[in-house]
Amino acid sequence: MTWLVTGGAGYIGAHVVRALLEAGLPPVVLDDLSSGHREFVPSGVPFVQGSVLDGAQVLHVLEQHHVTGVIHVAGFKYAGVSVQRPLHTYEQNVTGMATLLAAMAERGVDRLVFSSSAAVYGTPDVDLVTEDTPKNPESPYGETKLVGEWLLRDQGVAAGLRHTSLRYFNVVGSGDPEVYDTSPHNLFPKVFDALVAGRTPIVNGDDYPTPDGTNVRDYLHVADLAHSHVAAARRLDDGKPIEPAYNLGSGDGVSVAEIMAAMSRVTGIVFTPEIGPRRPGDPARIVASGDLAARDLEWAMRHTIDDMVRSAWEARLAHRD
């Protein structure tokens, strides 16, 4: 019952590895360390530095470690940058998926949990996104995640692959002080970097049609997210019915202003964020229903916003430069 975690040295993948260990499912990690960190992989977990684009190496890992399932987290995840680097994004996310699926088919590995994204929806015109909300990705990143889901669907028909895709928005917090979000593009790291450097954080727009004028999003604790990845893996192992895709969402969302207030409250650093211009194409509100995942994948919002901020801040300070 060994599970391969592609991208298992990254922020989300490393939490998935820890959740697998807690569930008694032995993991093995494949990561090219383009954005991951070797030190994020727990001691004793087999680690292979390599890319899902290298089909021979993927096949070798599947064979050598007797892999029975894959949690596919690896990929190029920066939506904004993907607009400037579409070919790279498609290579990493689409060619990478096709190469991984080919190796799995050759080895007879027939179960996969895919780390997809709510970016497949683009800017929905509904208050609450469900799995059936129309897909209209607005970046190469979102497009490649949707194509990845199509590849899984088609391989399921062609080869009997059992699979599910997990779609989620803003992943924050830390479930282990050894692992923290190092992305230069995400809200929490950007705010923390500003606070550590003595700068005032910036909010992009405060004139949206929301209760306080700032964007409303789903902020999810990474440990809760990892738990449902493992619940999906176990459901596939047990042969239980599973949906092709699940939203991992809060159902109500939190505004950027509320996040800023929590950051000030938790860190003890009193600040009033600067108001910058809106980011082009940034919708006022995107919030998803997690009802299906709650039914099947043990999905729950187990952490408050203060919990999310506190765990992320403590992990950040543990690695302060």
Catalytic-labelled residue, pool 141, 180, 208, 219: 141
Q: What is the pLDDT of residues 235-287, one digit of tens each?
A: 999 999 999 999 999 999 999 999 999 999 999 999 999 999 987 767 888 89
Mean pLDDT of 300-311: 97
Mean pLDDT score, 202-208: 94
> What residues does 255 pair with on adjacent strands?
216
**91-135 confidence digits (pLDDT tens):** 999 999 999 999 999 999 999 999 999 999 998 989 899 999 999
| Rounded-to-integer distance, Cα 267 and Cα 24, Å | 35
136-184 pLDDT per residue, tens: 999 999 999 999 999 999 999 999 999 999 999 899 999 999 999 999 8
β-pairing, 285-286 vs 216-217, is parallel
* Predicted local confidence at residue 282, as pLDDT: 77
Q: How far is 286 from 248, CA to CA, in rounded Å?
A: 12
16 pLDDT band (50/70/90 cuts)? very high
> Given a cut of 80, is residue 315 above it in pLDDT?
yes
Say how far apart CA 143 and CA 122 lie, in whole Å. 9
pLDDT band at 33 (very low <50, low <70, confident <90, very high): very high
Quote the CA–CA distance of 200 and 175 in Å, as a whole number.
27
Sign of CA dihedral 316, 306, 282, 74: positive
Query: Domains in the chain and their CATH numbers?
Result: 2-171+219-248 (3.40.50.720), 172-217+250-318 (3.90.25.10)
- Is 141 in the active site? yes
- Please tell me the predicted confidence (pLDDT) of residue 24: 97
Q: What pLDDT, on a 0 to 100 scale, did the predictor assign at position 123?
A: 86
User: Cβ(283)–Cβ(123) under 8 Å?
Assistant: yes
Residue 321's pLDDT band (cuts 50, 70, 90):
low
Cα separation, 190 vs 182, whole angstroms: 9
